[in-house]
Structure formats: structure tokens, C-alpha cells
Amino acid sequence: MNQEELINHAKNAMKLSYSPYSNYPVGAAILTKDGNIFYGANIENCAYPSGICAERCAIFHTYMHGYKKEDIVSLTLVADSNDLPYPCGACRQVLSELFPLEGEIIIANLKGKVLKTNIKELLPYTFEPANLEK
């Protein structure tokens, strides 16, 4: 699947956002090795910490369908913003454990700005299960 198709999937996911407080809808699409696409969108709540970002929504959705890190090819994020919708710190931490460290992450806005990266670049010093060992 090409970049444009992946961005279109993330745009479709963005339409599912519930973001009445921030007015900042974000869509995410995860592509698996077998060609499936899993959507995520930010879902807000008036008790702010109770919401979820699009990236975590998409990765959890993927895992809930039986997929794991080794099954994932890419993650695409889209928002209608001037800059790119970079993942927040919490999403970077979750992705560092559940998403391939060098898996492709495409970050785009509706103005045509696009960045290709990976979680290793976005979070170079990960906190991982090995850090819990004494």
C-alpha cells in the first residue's frame, strides 16, 4: 500500500474522532503484514485524562484483533493542523513497546506536509521491560 493510500485511511479514521474540547481531530491507521488496516481516532472526555489518543486507540485496536508487534508494517497519523501531529509522550512510550522500533511511521497534515520516521527516532531512549529488572 502506498503512502497516499495510508494517509487516506488515516483521514477516514480522523472522521471518527470525538474531540469537542480540543477541536483537534486526529486519525491513525495501522497497516499489518497481511494487508489489514486498523483505525484509531482521538476520543475525548470532559474528564480530560479519561480520553485516548488516536495512536493508542489504533495500536490497542490492532492488538485486540490478535496482532502483535511483529505483524505490524506501519502507522500513519493525520490531523488538520499547521504543523504535524507528532505523538505525545504517552503514545511514544506505548508504541516503543507495542510497535516495531524501526517500523514506518508516517505523520501528515491536511496541507500536504509529511514526515516519515520511526519510534526509535521519536523516542531514542526507551523505557522497556528490561528497565524493570533489578
Give CA–CA dist 90/11, Å, rounded.
Answer: 22
Within a 13 Å sphere around the CA of 132, how many CA atoms are in the beta-carbon half? 2
Active-site pick, 4, 5, 44, 55: 55
The answer to whether residue 4 is catalytic is no
Indicate the burial class of 31 (C-beta count within 10 angstroms; 0-12, 13-18, 19 or more).
buried
Q: Where are the alpha helices (DSSP H) in 2-134?
A: 3-14, 54-64, 89-98, 119-122
Residues classed as catalytic = 55
